[in-house]
Structures are given as C-alpha cells and as structure tokens.
C-alpha cells in the first residue's frame, strides 16, 4: 500500500525534525526537547514506516531503534587491518620515538626531515569501532577484535545517535572511531541498578564494551552511547569534490564535513614544548571531560610521512599513545592466599579491600613470589599503596608500615595447601623463588591445564570456558585431554545452562579444532618450562611429533634449548601415562607437520636483546634473527653468541661484559643479515 502524499510529507518533516534534535542533543550538547517528546516523535515515524513499506529508507532515524534480540554476533574480516598504538610514558619516550622515525625515514626512504608536526588527540577510554559506508550510507560496523577479525555489531551501532546513517556526501569510506559512555549516563544507569539492588558498574569503558555486545539492541539504545570518529582507513570521493586530505588535521575536518561527530579538543603541535603543554593540560583537566581519557594519541600530521613510515608488526610507526602518569591509591590487605597454576606453581595473591583505581574496582593483586613478599614485607592487615599504569595489572608498590596493626605476622609459605590435592604437600622449585604442588594432578591444577588446552594459544576451542570445564569435571566427563573430543550431545544436553543449540554449537567448535599445528599441540600439553614460544621453536626444529619424541633425550644441544628445558621435555615424554595420552590424542586429532628450521646466516647463533633499538622494535629484531636461522633468549649465559644492545640496556649488558660476550648494535645486526 502506497502512502498518501500528505503522509509522505509528514514522514519527511519528522525525519528532518528528529535529525535536528539529534544534533542538538548529541553534537551541540544543547537539547531543545525532552527525551519523552523526542521518543514520541520517533514512535510516530516508526508507526508510519511500518504501515507504508514504500516509506522505509536505510538512513531513516528509525534504524536507530532496537529490533528483536540477536542470538549471536557473526565474525567479520576487516577490509583494512586494525592496529593498536605503542605506549610512551614521559617526554624522553616521545623524543626517542621522534628520533626513531627520523632515522627510519632517512635509512629506508631516503627522506630528510628537519621539522615534524603532530596532531594530538584524546585517547578516549571506550571501545574501538570500524564503520563502513557505501554511497554515503552506513552499511556495516564492527569491533576491532584481534585486528584481523572483529564482531559484526552493525545493528547495535545504529542505535547510537552520533553515528550518521547517511553522510552529507555519497562517498565510500571506512572510518575508525571510539564508542563511549558519558560519565553522567554511568551515574544514571548505576542509580537505576541500585534501586533494583543489582551490582553497580565500575567504569564507563566496561559498560560501553559490554553494551555493544548486548544481543538486544533495545538495551543498547537505552544506554545512550556516543561515538567520536578520528581516522579514515579508506576513502573514495567518487563524483564529489571531496578527496583524501594530506594531513591528519585535514582528515578530522573532512570527517566533520561528512557528518561524523569529532572531538573538538585536538590540536596541531609543531614543537616538543607544544606537545608537553597539550599533554599536561589534559592530564590535569581530564576530570572535566564528559568521557574517560587515559592519555594522548600523537600522530605525525603529514599523511605523506605517515605512508612512508608505515607499520611495524603490531603498531603504526607514525603514531604513539602518550599515557597519563600512573594512578595510585591506598587500600588494606585482607588476606594472602595461594593460587595454583597449570604447572602446579603456587602464586601468592593479596585479597584487598575493594578500591576504585583509574576507573576500575580492584580487589586482588598478585604478589608474584616469596622474594617479592619479603622485599615488600607485606602482611595481612597492612595498608598498602596500589599502583596502576595504563592497562597494567595493579601492583602493590609500598607498605605503609606506620599504619601496620601491632599484632601482624610475617607471611610464611605453608607446608600444606588443600588445592594441591592428595596430601596437599608443596615443595620449593629448585633454583627458583617459587613453590609448587608435589601432587602433579590436583583438581585445581588439572582444571588450569584443561583451560590452557582449549585456549587460543593451543586448540582454540570457542565456548569451552572455565565454568563449563568445571561443570564437566564435576560430572567426571573430563579426566584427560582426549575426553574433550569424546563428548557427545547426550553428555551435554542435561547440563545446567545447555540447550539443544548451545550443545550443538560447542560440539561443532570441538570438531573444528581437531586439526592443529605441531607448535600448538606441544603448547597444549602443559609441559613444564615449555611455553608457546618454546613449543614453536621445537616444532620448527623437528617438524613432526614423531621426530620430537624420538629426540626428546638429546635436545640440549639445540639453539635456544637449555639443559633445564631439555630435561623437562625428556622427563615428560618418558612418563608412561603421557605416552598413553599422546597415543589417545593422535586418534582424536590431526597434527599438522611444520617445516623444519632451515639454515641461515645466523644459524646456531643465540642472541639476547636489551635496551631500546634505534628503529626496530624487539619483536621485529627477534623475527629478523629467527628468519636468518638464529635464536633469541631472555637471559645472558655462556651459550649467548651476541648481545644486541640499544639505549638504556640495563643489567644484561653488564653480564655480557663479565662473560666476554660480543655486544653489537642494530646497525651491526643489519650488516650481518644483509652483508
């Protein structure tokens, strides 16, 4: 049924009026209409578009309204790879970063740069989103995910009023932005939750991230998220007069012209002094902002230089996150408990009086090991200084001993730990400041091993999380790793929280994981001393599981494999029960052969990297060394061939000199590689 002309006119006016009030509220922060009145206008438009199908349009404001709840989010591959920034914490870090860029441009691009300006922007504490437009119409939105694959949250993003459904120009583009929750909205949400006696949210960032992953778009809309867009990944102006600007500042202005909401706090800084002024201003004034911010993002302003600088393996060379100073607060240690890891090592953890630090409620902090407890002399009842820098897990940095209770006692590692199972006895790990369970198959330890077996580093079985593993172990459905691949629909359907779809979904995920690389397979076994990187090294050295097992008793001569690791691998593969486990697993999974490590100019050479290199990150240097046949260790020993040293090298350089190990620079390494 076609809408009458007067209805068409009414719909047109409604859309224009709703769009006007949307901008007044979200972009100009000057609402002219109450929420209730605004919602009434939107409802009228919804009713008319529902009645007359010819009035429906992809860019209608009604597309912001939540529809039926979704069952799940599908994964989407990003057309343009997504990155995260490296961090800087002081002006020296910024100066080093600038010098690295200048040297890189000269060496790799033969570009001489005497002056470099930067575009400074707030590093908003929200959730990164990637928005795709075709002919100016919003067609897809996704989370960052792992940088290659994200979650399709298009429906939820359409509920955010500050994200335009149609741009001012019919261009094709992919843009990056930050979805965030206003501080005042967090207060409102928590007030409502308090009335309902529900747990309060700790910070706006968590709410923003959790909200965009809600399966019900109506919930998303009710929380009034906002979004600032700050970068263009792809741009095609087509028949318009718009083209890609030649500066970062120009990109922000273009985004504004297209109709995106852009933070107006950015500034172009032409000198280090201007960068510091901008940084210190917002470090001091950030509490006045309507959103959370944990630092400043600096990008080289000239786009030509951005393209010339390019990216490292994990971050853009032309940009950096200049984090605000570490946040500290005080709290009280309520208890010190021991946590059992997958290899049986016991980690002391301080249970704290819950405290808000840098926007997050913290109630636990790791104490690492016995030496750390003695160094701090931390005790139950102590008042401690807790510090959090950026995204780092909070640390106890000091004990305020003047506030210590009179009858406090120093913490002593017990001889009995119930989580260790059996007789609960523990023992000191030879040569380390750590304790471990004597019983190698305690319930807690076995659960950690199962969690590690299904993790992304190993078999990557989606949907088999901690709670489900615990439930399956309680039902005695999981006793050994191979039991995972023997699970059936009948095993799962009666378990709490499982329905037909969820059971089938988990079984499909398990089936998908049955093919695994040798490196991931070795990682999954939780062999003591063998982490992800060592497992990959072993896989490249031996190629097949059969070769690895046959050589388990004679691998101490391999580069990068010391006597402790070699002995640990030998003992593990010699254990009869482990041999039986391997045979059972081989019947359940396919282990892909990996190419053996080939020779190269650095074959049989072991390197240790220390300090900040002029142009290479540590990961880049490590990758270059490995590709050339060399290996990289974390500590200097008599087996070390070279120490690759940059600025601020630390104790490793001193150790190298004592052992008469050759110390080389980045330039000397590159000469070894390229002659």
**Residues annotated catalytic, as ranges:** 123
Q: What does the alpha-carbon distance between residue 88 and residue 279 come to, in Å, rounded to a whole number?
A: 12
Is residue 194 within 8 Å of residue 132, measured between CB atoms? no
Q: What does the alpha-carbon distance between residue 427 and residue 411 come to, in Å, rounded to a whole number?
A: 17
Q: Which two tokens stand for residue 451?
A: 């969690």
Residue with the two structure tokens 């990003």: 78
The residues facing 592 across adjacent strands are: 517
Among 265, 255, 247, 263, smallest CA distance to 318 is for 247
- Residue 524: phi and psi, rounded to 5, are -65, -20
List helix spans (H) across 269-424: 272-285, 303-309, 370-376
- Kind plus residue range of the DSSP H or E element containing 108: helix 91-109
The residues facing 323 across adjacent strands are: 295
Q: What does the alpha-carbon distance between residue 178 and residue 160 come to, in Å, rounded to a whole number?
A: 12
Is residue 168 within 8 Å of residue 258, measured between CB atoms? yes
Cβ neighbours for 469, distance < 8 A, ≥ 6 positions apart? 447, 450, 451, 454, 478
Angle of helix 5-26 relative to helix 35-51, nearest 10 degrees, comes to: 150
End-to-end Cα distance, the chain:
77
The maximal CA–CA distance of the chain, rounded, in angstroms, is 90
Residue 277 burial (CB < 10 Å; 0-12/13-18/19+)?
middle
- Cβ-based neighbour number of residue 500 at 10 Å: 10
Q: What does the alpha-carbon distance between residue 657 and residue 642 come to, in Å, rounded to a whole number?
A: 11
DSSP code for 313 = S
């Amino acid at each position: 049924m076609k809408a009458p002309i007067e209805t068409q006119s009414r719909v047109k006016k409604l859309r224009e009026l709703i769009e006007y009030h949307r901008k007044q509220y979200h972009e100009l922060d000057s609402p002219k209409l109450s929420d209730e009145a605004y919602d009434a206008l939107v409802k009228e438009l919804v009713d008319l578009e529902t009645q007359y199908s010819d009035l429906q349009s992809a860019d209608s404001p009604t597309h912001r309204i939540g529809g039926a709840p979704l069952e799940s989010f599908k994964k989407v591959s990003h057309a343009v790879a997504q990155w995260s920034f490296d961090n800087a914490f002081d002006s020296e870090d910024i100066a080093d970063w600038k010098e690295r860029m200048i040297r890189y441009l000269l060496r790799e691009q033969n570009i001489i740069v005497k002056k470099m300006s930067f575009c400074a922007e707030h590093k908003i504490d929200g959730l990164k989103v990637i928005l795709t437009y075709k002919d100016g119409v919003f067609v897809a939105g996704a989370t960052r995910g792992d940088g290659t694959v994200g979650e399709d949250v298009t429906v939820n993003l359409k509920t955010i009023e500050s994200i335009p459904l149609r741009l001012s120009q019919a261009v094709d583009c992919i843009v990056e932005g930050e979805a965030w929750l206003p501080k005042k909205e967090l207060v409102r949400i928590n007030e409502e939750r308090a009335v309902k006696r529900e747990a309060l949210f700790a910070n706006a960032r968590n709410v923003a991230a959790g909200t965009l992953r809600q399966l019900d778009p109506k919930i998303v809309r009710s929380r009034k998220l906002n979004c600032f867009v700050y970068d263009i990944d792809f741009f095609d102006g087509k028949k318009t007069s718009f083209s890609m600007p030649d500066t970062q500042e120009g990109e922000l202005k273009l985004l504004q012209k297209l109709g995106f909401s852009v933070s107006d706090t950015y500034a172009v800084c032409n000198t280090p002094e201007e960068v510091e002024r901008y940084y210190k201003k917002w470090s001091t004034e950030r509490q006045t902002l309507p959103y959370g911010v944990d630092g400043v993002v600096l990008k080289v302003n000239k786009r030509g230089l951005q393209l010339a600088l390019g990216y490292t393996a994990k971050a853009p060379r032309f940009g950096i996150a200049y984090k605000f100073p570490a946040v500290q607060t005080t709290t009280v240690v309520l208890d010190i408990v021991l946590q059992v890891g997958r290899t049986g090592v016991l980690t002391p953890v301080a249970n704290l009086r819950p405290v808000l630090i840098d926007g997050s409620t913290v109630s636990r902090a790791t104490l690492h090991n016995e030496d750390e407890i003695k160094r701090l002399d931390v005790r139950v009842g102590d008042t401690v200084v807790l510090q959090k820098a950026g995204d780092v897990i909070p640390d106890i940095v000091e004990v305020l001993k003047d506030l210590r209770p009179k009858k406090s006692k120093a913490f002593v590692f017990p001889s009995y730990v119930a989580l260790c199972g059996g007789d609960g006895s523990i023992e000191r790990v030879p040569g380390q400041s750590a304790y471990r369970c004597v019983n190698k198959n305690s319930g807690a330890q076995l659960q950690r091993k199962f969690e590690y077996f299904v993790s992304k580093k190993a078999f990557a079985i989606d949907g088999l999380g901690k709670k489900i593993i615990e439930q399956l172990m309680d039902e005695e459905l999981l006793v050994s790793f191979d039991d995972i691949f023997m699970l059936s629909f009948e095993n799962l359907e009666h378990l709490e929280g499982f329905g037909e779809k969820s059971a089938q979904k988990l079984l499909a995920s398990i089936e998908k994981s049955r093919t695994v690389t040798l490196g991931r397979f070795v990682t999954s076994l939780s062999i003591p001393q063998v982490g992800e990187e060592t497992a990959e090294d072993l896989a490249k050295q031996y190629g097949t599981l059969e070769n690895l097992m046959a050589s388990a008793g004679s691998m101490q001569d391999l580069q990068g494999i010391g006597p402790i690791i070699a002995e640990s691998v030998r003992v593990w593969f010699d254990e009869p029960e482990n041999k039986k486990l391997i045979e059972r697993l081989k019947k359940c999974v396919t282990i892909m052969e990996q190419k053996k490590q080939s020779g190269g100019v650095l074959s049989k050479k072991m390197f240790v990297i220390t300090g900040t290199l002029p142009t290479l990150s540590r990961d880049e240097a490590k990758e270059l060394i490995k590709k050339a046949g060399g290996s990289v260790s974390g500590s200097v020993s008599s087996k070390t061939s070279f120490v690759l040293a940059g600025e601020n090298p630390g104790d490793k350089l001193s150790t190298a000199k004592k052992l008469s190990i050759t110390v080389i620079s980045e330039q000397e390494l590159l000469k070894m590689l390229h002659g």
